[in-house]
Structure 1
Amino acid sequence: MVKFEELKKKIPTQITVLGGGSWATALVKILCENNVKIKWWIRRKSDVDFIRKYNHNPSYLTDVVINPRKVKTYHKMSDALNGTEYIILAIPAAFIPSTLKDLHAKHFEGKKIVSAIKGMIPDENILVTDWMEKAFNLPLGNSCVIAGPCHAEEIALEKQSYLTIASPKVETAQSFANLLNSRFLQAHAIGDLYGVEYCAVIKNIIAIACGITRGLGFGDNFQAVLVSNAMQEIKVFLDKVYPATERDLNSSGYLGDLLVTAYSQFSRNRTFGNMLGKGYSVKSAQMEMNMIAEGYYAVKSIYLISKSHDLNLPIIDAVYNIVYGKANPKEEMGRLKGHLK
């Protein structure tokens, strides 16, 4: 007679992924390494049809093979949410309210919500997990966030990678981390949801700053000082906005995620900043990239939060002044030099 626990292990975990971008595609690839069934919602119907026919995402990470035995694509979101255990959000933060506007609390009832978004809800200036909790009356213990250091492009190449999963209920984080662990990826769980989520947001802003300095012709020496000062700004922000007794900012979910975003050629926020440093306007840089740089929206939110707490964050201020205040990048970074040590 088969024991219940043994039978349970053979039943695939039902997961919904919302979003059709590179990170969503990478997460689908990772999850397919384990015993899962995935319902994948993608906004563009043409992409849904293409994946069904050719088992590749035509718009992002086009070399990744989508396993048709484990993955079904959907254009109607409500169908993708039926009968699932986990819902992974991989939609740019700015589009979360409009994308989910037709959903109700019942769609999320009894399900675990995983945010793979490293941004904030514009205008409301709140984290994605906070917005979801308020919009759909979700228990925070059923939510978790994914942090790096990890780029979708390296997942596509199956390069060894690491993820940090954070939730106020560590058991929730660990259960999802178990679904990610595979031959080329290791995931571990921690309890600092807000600390990890805020850090993931701010590191995108720092990546824009790094890109700007590169575009202006600054070298490795300056970027090393910029990033080390940025880590201090992150600490100042977190200690004031969301203090925690158990938080190691030197661990990979914080410092590691910052480093990979600040230095990597795959970082879209760094690319966005690089274009600004080279003289592109914000609008022209966004149009040429054809991808969302979360730091563009996040810097306004973090700037306003920092000012409400009377915090001195020179790097955040500099990026805000360039992106929203239309400050000259060369002049603004020239002023920033005097604040770094």
Structure 2
Amino acid sequence: MSKKPVIGVLGSGSWATALVKMLCENMEELNWWVRSQDTIDHIALHGNNPKYIQSIQFQVEKLKLTTNMKVVIESSDIIIVAIPSMFLDDAFNDVFGENSSFTPFSNKLVFSAIKGMISKYNYIPARYLHKRFDIPYEKIGIICGPCHAEEVARERLSYLTVACPDTTQAEIFAPFLRTKYIKVSTSDDVFGAELAAVLKNVYAVGSGLAHGLGYGDNFISVLICNAAIEMKRFIDVVHDIDRNIKSSPYLGDLLVTAYSVNSRNRALGTMVGSGYTVMAAVIELKMVAEGMTGAKGIFEMNKDFKVEMPIADAVYRILHERMSPVLEMRLLSDQLK
């Protein structure tokens, strides 16, 4: 791309809102698909998203807002998909039809900012985009943390990783996210980083469960240490390339999600550990906790790989088989080292 690319964002949740804030600092114009016309009207009038991270004030004159997803895709060179994983397939089906062979992303560079699995297929986002729209893997990248949208809103120093199979593509895109408070590195490990992004949410639920059950910092530190080992074991089996699991997209993202007060997955676990039913906790949370679908997706995916994953399995049983958090955590504690 010799000229400055046109960038489009799909989604209007908290992470999409934070990404739009970053991009507006580097772009003169930005295409943004927002599902609700009421939300668009509010943003245009008041300069903020009425539902998510309301403290972020947009440079509205830079935004080309629309409820027409096709317009954003067709008029953009780079597409950022930031629709939560549990709504992604339905959002695309509403626009393109469930069985459509239409490939709207032809010749586009597509970056996933999704932090979960598409549960209908048990696909990580890159695989879903490839299968659903026949996008070549070399044209699919991801944006990963550790980075909470709430801290982007406060302009606290944060770090992102942009991963593409061809790191040249990542290097083209990365500057559009860099600001005085956002540093961006690049990687070629799309699949490993995406799996880490799914797993860290599952382990954050586990951290919250332990907290809600009354376990202390000593236990939780051991739990997360074991989770990091388990994460590496699984990712290395599924996608065996040379990677440093101790670096930011893996261990860093795990730590911030497992410990932060901004972590909705930790909050979900804390509520269930404190006595809420899973459904009551989901309703009370009022935000998407990707660890819910992630736990099921990893459990199903691991049927093919048969990796020993006691922590992820325990979280799955608590969330989806309604097993006792007290009993599962007690049994798990005997397996930690």
TM range (shorter): over 0.9
Structure 2 residue 257 is matched with structure 1 residue 252: no
In structure 2, the residue matched to 1:52 is: 44
Structure 2 residue 70 is matched with structure 1 residue 62: no
Aligned mate of 1:299, from 295, 298, 319:
295
In structure 2, the residue matched to 1:17 is: 9
Structure 2 residue 145 is matched with structure 1 residue 145: no
- When the two chains are superposed, the root-mean-square deviation of aligned CA atoms in Å is 1.4
Amino acid at match of 2:127: D
Deviates more, 1:179-188 or 1:32-41: 32-41
In structure 1, the residue matched to 2:130 is: 133
Deviates more, 1:56-65 or 1:72-81: 72-81
Alpha-carbon contact 1:148-1:252 (below 8 Å) kept: yes
SS state of the match for residue 186, structure 1? strand
**Aligned positions of 1:109-124 closer than 5 A:** 109-124=106-121
Aligned mate of 2:316, from 305, 317, 320:
320
SS state of the match for residue 6, structure 2? strand
Distance in 2 of aligned mates of 1:296 and 1:184: 31
Aligned mate of 1:73, from 52, 65, 79:
65
SS state of the match for residue 69, structure 1? helix
Distance in 2 of aligned mates of 1:236 and 1:146: 23
Number of aligned positions between the proteins: 332
Structure 2 residue 228 is matched with structure 1 residue 231: yes
Alpha-carbon contact 1:81-1:107 (below 8 Å) kept: yes
Amino acid at match of 2:156: K
Alpha-carbon contact 2:24-2:62 (below 8 Å) kept: yes
The superposition leaves residues 266-325 of structure 1 with CA deviations (integer Å, 9 ceiling, x where unpaired) of: 001001111110111111111111111011001011012223222211101110110011
Unmatched runs of 5 consecutive residues or more in structure 2: none
Structure 2 residue 215 is matched with structure 1 residue 218: yes
The superposition leaves residues 218-273 of structure 1 with CA deviations (integer Å, 9 ceiling, x where unpaired) of: 111011101110011011101211111x2000111111011000000000100111
Distance in 2 of aligned mates of 1:140 and 1:308: 22
Structure 2 residue 159 is matched with structure 1 residue 162: yes
Task: Provide the TM-score with structure 2 as the length reference.
Answer: 0.96
CA drift at 1:44: 1.8
SS state of the match for residue 50, structure 2? coil
Unmatched runs of 5 consecutive residues or more in structure 1: none
CA drift at 1:35: 2.8
Task: Provide the TM-score with structure 1 as the length reference.
Answer: 0.95
Amino acid at match of 1:326: R
Distance in 2 of aligned mates of 1:78 and 1:53: 24
**Percent identical:** 42
Structure 2 residue 285 is matched with structure 1 residue 289: yes
Distance in 1 of aligned mates of 2:52 and 2:120: 29
Structure 2 residue 305 is matched with structure 1 residue 309: yes
CA drift at 1:133: 0.6
In structure 2, the residue matched to 1:37 is: 29
